[in-house]
Amino acid sequence: MSTTLFVRHGTTTWNETGRIQGWAPARLSEQGRAEAEAVADGLAADRDVAAVVSSDLARTVETAEAIADATGVPVETDRRLRERDFGMYQGLRGDTFFDRFPAFDLLENGREAAERVPESGESWVDVHDRVVAAAADLDDRDGPVVAVTHLNPIRILVGDRRGLPLVRSLTELAADNCSLTEFDDGGTVVRENATGFLN
């Protein structure tokens, strides 16, 4: 069992324009690169990092590479740590999405929306299952392990460790860009959505 530190990727150009990213190859913005450098420097100063594992999407790999450079630990990738595949809806604006496609609104439709699969995408239930499996494998490694992932995988994992239903996890929890969420070696959430770095 190991301490696992989950880092959300830095701000992207798509974050800045409010677009649904999914599996798109969105890159870090100038702000995102600065955030990645800051969290990398903080981790290198605070922890003896044993492994850096990242979603294989561009924005997480960019963030993980900054951490790898600072800690001297190479990046490994795990597709299971990806964001949800939003399929045909990728690239649409998030602020008007539910007005156009209300069947996907978790607050209005609960578990039914979580089970709904967008065309050429995946359901929230599928995301939950793969992310939880990836986290279980990270728990078995010697640590500390830094895992660079996305907003919704972090929400899912925190909620899962706290026994929250999936819909509540996705609608009530937060993870800012380049924030840190830490699980101890027993799986307890000891730090959540921490920014400004570690104390």
SS3 assignment, position 122: coil
Phi-psi region of 22 (alpha: psi -120 to 50; beta: other; left: phi over 0): left
Residues 6+ apart with CB under 8 A from 32: 9, 10, 11, 12, 15, 59, 62, 63, 177, 178
35 belongs to a structural domain:
yes
Preceding amide of 144 cis, omega within 30 = yes
Residues 6+ apart with CB under 8 A from 64: 52, 53, 54, 75, 146, 148
pLDDT of 1: 53
22 belongs to a structural domain:
yes
139 belongs to a structural domain:
yes
Active-site annotation, residues: 9, 83
Q: How many domains is the chain partitioned into structurally?
A: 1
- Domain containing 83 equals 4-194
Please name which of 10, 15, 17 lies closest in space to residue 54, comparing C-alpha atoms.
10
Detail the DSSP E strand segments found in 28-176. 51-54, 75-77, 145-149
199 belongs to a structural domain:
no
**Per-block average pLDDT, block size 10, for the chain (199 residues)?**
90 97 97 96 94 98 98 98 98 96 98 97 98 96 95 98 97 97 90 76
CATH number assigned to the domain comprising residue 138: 3.40.50.1240
pLDDT of 196: 73
In terms of pTM, does the model score above 0.75? yes
pLDDT of 197: 61
SS3 content of the chain, % helix, strand, coil (to 5): 50, 15, 35
Q: Within a 10 A sphere around the Cβ of 1, how many other Cβ atoms?
A: 14
